[in-house]
Amino acid sequence: MSDNGTIVGSNLEKALKAGYFVATGELGPPQSADRHEIEHKAGFLKGIVESVNLTDNQTAVVRMSSISVAVMLLEMGIEPNIQMTARDRNRIAIQSDLLGAYALGVRNLLCLTGDHQTFGNHPNAKNVHDVDSISMLQMCRNMRDQKIFECGDAIKGQEPRFLLGAAANPFADPFDFRPYRLGKKARAGADFIQTQLVFNVPKFQEYMRRVVDLGLHEQTYILAGVGPIKSLGAARYMAAKVPGMEVDPEYIERMRTSTQGLPSIKEIRSMDDPSEAKEARRLRKKAAETEGIGICVEIIEACKEIEGVAGVHIMAIEWEEAVDGIVRTAQIGPKYDPARQAA
């Protein structure tokens, strides 16, 4: 893996190159100009993951810019990984923002096509899509390694040097093409890959088998996307409503049975004592959350056994406090990986 791009010196790159089973986190910037909310959420991730992805107006909902949140994280001593979509910026804006992001200290970048604006809160917006994720990767690699802008002009002075990442969805169709698409991303410059949430381990195993057969795990580091399910409703929603996601029915059933033996929602509603009802609700919530975190840890353990998987990307948006328990139980990341402590 020594020829895998130029060293940018980020924590993420160092951990990947050292061969540790890495853990990255994710944080969704707020739909407001509130800095405190970021500091509160980021605090749960500090020191326990290599770097924290900052989504770029995910699901096309307007949020604080990922680069500005990245600066706040840097000030907190947390390494950011900015996401950049092709939906809202053309090649001029992307390159401009990346010059600024590098100058501000950002070293990791995830290149994405972006969720279509139809899903967000501004469905009447004009989308850009001047480049796509793969042509964006090529452009960013050329800025870093060739010191040229997309147009071919030389970058006179400091070039923006990012560890380049890309997404992959093993559960989208056509399934046969997905490993090849990952290969295109690796060839276009992706130093690492973060996948869609894995809730169908056998299918992910089959995908990785094909990826390994193509030798792609030796061209790029592949992090499996994982996340804790918070409730039965969340599991059902992901299974039925989120495009490009597959949830093993077993997990839905386990979320359903996680609250068995506890008073049902209906029974709680008919409780006369408000404090008793509150406590019953808390216990139900806790039981479901415990099961959700348990499933997440199991999937991480399964991923550790899959050839070619270099780590996990933990997506616990709006539930950042769950990440510590996950990485502690799974014994991964800078704080809890025994191999890291020994080193």
Partner 1 sequence: MIVAEQKPLEEIKGMVAGAEKILVLGCGTCVTVCFAGGEKEASILASQLRMATRLDGDEKEVTEFTVQRQCEYEYNDLAADYVREADLVVSLACGIGVQTMNEQFPEKLTVPGLNTNGLSQPVEQGVWEERCQACGDCVLDLTGGLCPIARCAKSLLNGPCGGSQRGICEVYAEKETPCVWDQIYHRLEDLGQLDKLMELEPPKNWHTSRDGGQRKIVREDLRL
Q: How far apart are the first and last CA of the chain?
A: 21
Q: How far is the CB of 152 from partner 1 (least distance, A)?
A: 11
Find the binding residues for partner 1 in span 207-266 (CB under 8 A). Answer: 243-244
**Residue whose CB is less far from partner 1, 196 or 331:** 196
In a 13 Å sphere around the CA of 204, the CA atoms on its Cβ side amount to 30
Give me the 118-147 binding string for partner 1, x by CB under 8 A, dash otherwise.
xx-------x-xxxxxxx--xx--------
Find the binding residues for partner 1 in span 15-74 (CB under 8 A). Answer: none
The answer for residues whose C-beta is within 8 angstroms of residue 321's C-beta and 6 or more apart is 44
Q: How far is the CB of 338 from partner 1 (least distance, A)?
A: 34
**Residue whose CB is less far from partner 1, 9 or 244:** 244
44 backbone dihedrals φ, ψ, rounded to 5°: -70, -20
Q: Does residue 190 contact residue 278 with C-beta atoms inside 8 Å?
A: no
C-alpha distances (whole Å) from 113 to each of 43, 85, 90, 130, 235 are 29, 5, 12, 10, 26
**Residue whose CB is less far from partner 1, 113 or 329:** 113
Give me the 172-191 binding string for partner 1, x by CB under 8 A, dash otherwise.
xxx--x--xx-xx--xx---
27 backbone dihedrals φ, ψ, rounded to 5°: -140, 135
Instruction: Give the residue, chosen from 14, 46, 91, 210, that forms a contact with partner 1 under the rule CB under 8 A.
Output: 91
Instruction: Give the residue, chosen from 6, 59, 68, 113, that forms a contact with partner 1 under the rule CB under 8 A.
Output: 113
Instruction: Give the residue, chosen from 116, 147, 328, 340, that forms a contact with partner 1 under the rule CB under 8 A.
Output: 116
**Residue whose CB is less far from partner 1, 135 or 231:** 135
Q: How far is the CB of 7 from partner 1 (least distance, A)?
A: 24
User: Does the protein bind partner 1 through residue 152 (CB under 8 A)?
Assistant: no
**Residue whose CB is less far from partner 1, 189 or 308:** 189
User: Does the protein bind partner 1 through residue 197 (CB under 8 A)?
Assistant: no
Cα 279 to Cα 320: distance, rounded to the nearest angstrom: 23
Please report, as ranges, the residues that interact with partner 1 according to CB under 8 A: 86-87, 91, 113-116, 118-119, 127, 129-135, 138-139, 150, 167-169, 171-174, 177, 180-181, 183-184, 187-188, 196, 243-244
